[in-house]
């Protein structure tokens, strides 16, 4: 049984308090802005891509604990991965937080992101959890 307490587990609270890779990257980098008006979340992501690899990425923004923690963990997941991973992970993550029966194999791949499964019980928070991932995808596509 998921409940709100579970949703706000320590990992989410920690990343919200001490977000990883918080800040901007100097140009030339690709960036995108994401907004979730339902909750008031606002995020900017910055990526440095070299030879198809995400060499560095950072984010800045204001929002709820879930959106910030998701962005923070996302930066640790995607750093060093090929750009295609941004899309691949977004799809896996979307499945995890919206599907009634998420793909179990994805859970392993998603690692820490798997804690956001609790969001499934709170459809209004799905956008909070996926905002950073959609924003990274926009940044990669605009690159």
| One residue of 54, 57, 64, 136 binding Zn ion per CB under 5 A | 64
Return the number of the residue (58 or 68) whose C-beta is nearest Zn ion.
68
41 binds Zn ion (CB under 5 A): yes
Q: Would you say the C-alpha torsion 136, 95, 6, 122 has a positive or negative sign?
A: positive
Q: What's the closest the beta carbon of residue 64 comes to Zn ion, in angstroms?
A: 3
Q: What's the closest the beta carbon of residue 113 comes to Zn ion, in angstroms?
A: 16
Q: What's the closest the beta carbon of residue 76 comes to Zn ion, in angstroms?
A: 20
Which residues within the stretch 97-136 sit at the binding site for Zn ion (CB under 5 A)? 128
CB 69, CB 16: distance < 8 Å: yes
List of residues 6+ apart from 72 with CB closer than 8 A:
15, 16, 19, 20, 21, 22, 59
User: The tokens of 63 are what?
Assistant: 């929002």
Return the number of the residue (39 or 53) whose C-beta is nearest Zn ion.
39
CB 52, CB 90: distance < 8 Å: no
Q: Give me the residues that bind Zn ion (CB under 5 A), please.
A: 39, 41, 64, 67, 128
């Amino acid at each position: 049984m998921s409940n709100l307490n579970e949703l706000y587990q320590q990992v989410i609270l920690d990343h919200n308090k001490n977000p990883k890779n918080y800040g901007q990257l100097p140009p030339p980098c690709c960036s995108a802005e994401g907004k979730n008006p339902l909750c008031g979340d606002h995020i900017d992501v910055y990526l440095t891509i070299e030879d198809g690899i995400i060499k560095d990425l950072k984010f800045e923004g204001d929002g709820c604990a879930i959106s910030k923690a998701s962005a923070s963990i996302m930066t640790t997941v995607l750093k060093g991965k090929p750009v295609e991973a941004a899309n691949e992970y977004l799809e896996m993550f979307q499945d995890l937080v919206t599907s009634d029966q998420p793909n179990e194999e994805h859970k392993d791949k998603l690692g820490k992101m798997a804690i956001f499964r609790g969001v499934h019980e709170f459809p209004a928070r799905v956008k909070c959890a996926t905002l950073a991932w959609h924003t990274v995808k926009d940044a990669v596509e605009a690159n």
